[in-house]
Every structure is written in structure tokens, then in C-alpha cells.
Amino acid sequence: MLCSSAMRGRHDSARSPISMAWCRLRAARGMGSRRSGWWEAPLFAAEQRATLVNVKLKWVKDRALDAVVSRERHLRAVHHLLDLVSSRPGHRISHPDLLADRSVHKLFGSADSVLAFLGKYRTLFAMRRGGYVFLTDEALDLRRREVDCLVEYEPDLVSRLRRLLMLTLPRSLPLHTVDLLRWDLGLPRDYRASILRRYPEHFALEQPEGDERIWLHLLSWDDHLAVSELEKSADSSDTTCLPFPVSFTKGFGLRSKCVNWLREWQALSYTSPYADPSGLDRRTDVSEKRNVGVFHELLHLTVAKRTERHNVSNMRKLLGMPQKFTKVFERHPGIFYLARVLGTQTVVLREAYGGGSLLLDKHAHPLVAIREEYAAMMKAALPPRRSRERDSCSKQDEEDEG
């Protein structure tokens, strides 16, 4: 059984007429503004009476989306070293300098681990006499293409960073949180010194009194940017009751009660993730639809339409979320998929992959294609899979004999 539900308050079936009537009233009155104060209290209060249904859906493995995440095994570590080596004069770095780098030590822990890692991926790194680490010609060429891509798409990157800050209530994020999302947003390693300094009209670094953290603050709101991806994809100008694209893993079944709940939930009023949510009752399905909308938009802001769950777990208050807000990922497996691979949980936006393991063209970002090429070079450095399995078995046999 893939679904069970328990209700608090009014019966579930009473919600549909209220929801549909509300949508028609809003559409008739042209109440489509995304800024705070766009509702009329009596009508909004009527919609708020729809109580939250506690629906639990069973997690079902999706091999295609697991493969999406698994392809990046060790990719971030490789990319960090590529970035570090390519930034040095002559695109080389001595062993002592590499091993003395704090970020490298934090990533690998020991000199032996670093050297073993470099030796594993000889399609990307070359270790030559004199104790230097170089990039291979192929890796250096791909790195240059990546830098050119970052320059070409910098305006897009700046817009996405501004929109991320616009999603938050204080229009600010701690730099630590931005750092966690840096890879997913496609920010360069030196974004503080490069991107932020080049756009002082948009960004400022601040340290509030009594707070040890440094915050990235948005200086300029832009109504043109405050339009969600769901609104952009709408078939009409009426964005009052937008449904989310939904698909499920092959073999995933829903009981009729869950199908009915999902249909009615989709018909509820849509609140833009850029709107002020202070008037929403957090105990309602309407509020949950807003929460889903925030993460739907946040994942759209990432280059690969995914991020690790823990990257957003500390953003509750900043996004105006209730307690245990990441439960929406489990409650809406037709919108989000939780990939439980590589020792973590990664939230993937289903619609961006269309049931496969590659981004659909309309969602593809050039950086993702370059990262796929890095991953292919890494794979080429490893022995064939059968050889690896034989080596593993041989090693196990030797241990058993010992």
C-alpha cells in the first residue's frame, strides 16, 4: 500500500468546492498580483479553512535518477583540484604547496590520500619529475572551455543568485549557506572576489551586530525577476491555481484516496514563492503548496535541477517555512525525488529529467554538459568494470586465505 491518510478538522471532500470557487473568484477579480496585500481578507480566510491532510507516500527507488547523482561520484573533489592547479602560474603546483593547501587537507585528510587520488585519474592529472602536478592537455582544454562558459553566462548566474536571495524573507543569506549551494548554482570558487565585487549595485556583504556570520544581502529587488518558472510555463496569463508537473517512478501506484487528494491539492491557489507568505496559515494545504513552490523554484535555480537535502535544511526561517519543512520532499514524490546514494540524500526535480537520466534540452545548462565531460574523462581513467570486480574478488580471496 503506497498511501495512507489521516485528517484533522473538516472532511477532505469539503475542500474542493471552496478551492474551486476561490480560484474562479480570484480569476474574475483579476487578483494576480505577486506582491503582499493582493488578497481580500474574507475570501482568503475562506480558503484558509482547508485543513492539512497528512498523506504519507512510500519511497520508491528510481534507478534513472539515482544514476544522475551517482555519475558525480568524486567529481567535486576532482573539480576542486582542477580549479586549484589551473589557477596557479603555468597551470602547475608543487607537491608541498598542494599538500599544504587547507582545502585539500580538509578534503582528503592525508598526503597519501591526495597522491593516490591524483594517480587514480591520470586522464586529468599528470605528476612529473621535480614534484609537480600538471593538468593533462585534455583536462586543461576542458577547463578553459569551462572558464569561457562562466564568463559568457555570468549575467544568467547573477540573475539566479539575485532570485535566490529574493526567495528569502530578509533578502539575505549567510555566506556559509551560499557556499553550500555554490556548486549547484554554478558559482566559481572565487565568487566572493569576482562576482560579488563586480556587481556592487546588487550585492553587499554585511555582518549584523551580535552575529559572527557574514551575510550576503540583496540591494535591489526586480519585479521582472520575481516570476517563478511555474508561472513562466503557464498556458495562460491566469496564474491563480497553477498545478505542478507530476510524474512517478515506473511501477509507482497510488490509491484512489491519494489520487483524489492530489487532484484537489493541485487545484488549490498558487502562491508565488516571491510573495510575502505572512498571511498564510501554515496548517493548511494552501501553505504547503506555497512551500512546494519555493523548493520547486529553488531547484530550478540550480544548473542541474538538484541539490543535497542538507544544503537547504538550515534555511527554514529565512524561507518562511514551518518545522520539518523538508517533509514536503517525501509527501510529493511526483514532484521531487530523493536519491539516497553516495551517502547522502539529494533532492532532484523530476520534471527536469522527463523520466530519464539526462536533463531535458529546455532545462539543460552548458555547465552541466562540461561536467559530464569531466565525469567521462574520470571514467576513462578507471579499468573496465569487470577488471575492477576481479581485482576486488582477488583481494577478498587473499584476505580470506590470510
DSSP track, 298-328: HHHHSSSSEEEGGGTTT-HHHHT--TTGGGH
Between 179 and 237, residue with greater pLDDT: 179
Q: How confident is the model at residue 59 (pLDDT cuts 50, 70, 90)?
A: confident
Q: Are 86 and 143 contacting, i.e. CB atoms less than 8 angstroms apart?
A: yes
**58 and 95 fall within a common domain:** no
**307 and 257 fall within a common domain:** yes
CA distances from 123 to 14, 127, 371 (A): 62, 11, 15
What mean pLDDT do residues 201-225 have? 96
- Tally the domains of the chain: 2
Between 77 and 402, residue with greater pLDDT: 77
What mean pLDDT do residues 52-65 have? 80
Residue 358 lies in a domain: no
Question: Which DSSP category does 12 fall into?
Answer: G
**134 and 254 fall within a common domain:** no
CA dihedral 308, 311, 316, 321 (to 10 degrees): -30
Residue 392 lies in a domain: yes
Cα dihedral 289, 292, 298, 299 sign: negative
Min mean pLDDT across 214-223, 251-260, 300-309, 319-328 is at: 251-260
Q: Are 158 and 195 contacting, i.e. CB atoms less than 8 angstroms apart?
A: yes
Contacts of 121 (CB under 8 A, 6+ apart): 78, 377, 378, 381
Residue 359 lies in a domain: no
What mean pLDDT do residues 27-46 have? 37
In the block, cell 543568485 appears at 161
pLDDT at 400 > cutoff 80: no
Residue 170 lies in a domain: no
Contacts of 88 (CB under 8 A, 6+ apart): 97
3-state secondary structure of 200: coil
Could you tell me the three cell numbers for 145? 572551455
Min mean pLDDT across 28-37, 88-97, 331-340 is at: 28-37
Full domain range(s) for residue 52: 3-68+223-352
Residue 114 lies in a domain: yes
Helix residue ranges per DSSP H, 9-49: 15-29, 41-48
3-state secondary structure of 206: strand
Cα(400)–Cα(90) distance, rounded to whole angstroms? 48
The reported pLDDT for the residue numbered 104 is 94
Cα dihedral 311, 313, 315, 320 sign: positive
Residue 93 lies in a domain: yes
Q: How confident is the model at residue 254 (pLDDT cuts 50, 70, 90)?
A: confident
pTM of the model: 0.84
Give backbone dihedrals phi and psi of 3, rounded to 5 degrees, phi first.
-150, 135
**77 and 52 fall within a common domain:** no
Residue 209 lies in a domain: no
3-state secondary structure of 126: strand
pLDDT at 27 > cutoff 60: no
**316 and 234 fall within a common domain:** yes
**246 and 325 fall within a common domain:** yes
**Percent of residues, the chain, with pLDDT higher than 70:** 82
Question: Which DSSP category does 235 fall into?
Answer: S
Q: Are 205 and 175 contacting, i.e. CB atoms less than 8 angstroms apart?
A: yes
Q: Are 85 and 128 contacting, i.e. CB atoms less than 8 angstroms apart?
A: no
**21 and 95 fall within a common domain:** no
What mean pLDDT do residues 144-165 have? 97
Residue 8 lies in a domain: yes
**236 and 322 fall within a common domain:** yes
Q: Are 187 and 195 contacting, i.e. CB atoms less than 8 angstroms apart?
A: yes
Q: How confident is the model at residue 152 (pLDDT cuts 50, 70, 90)?
A: very high
**278 and 244 fall within a common domain:** yes
pLDDT at 2 > cutoff 80: no
Q: Are 157 and 186 contacting, i.e. CB atoms less than 8 angstroms apart?
A: yes
Cα(340)–Cα(355) distance, rounded to whole angstroms? 17
**317 and 395 fall within a common domain:** no
**76 and 62 fall within a common domain:** no
**23 and 78 fall within a common domain:** no
What mean pLDDT do residues 232-256 have? 88
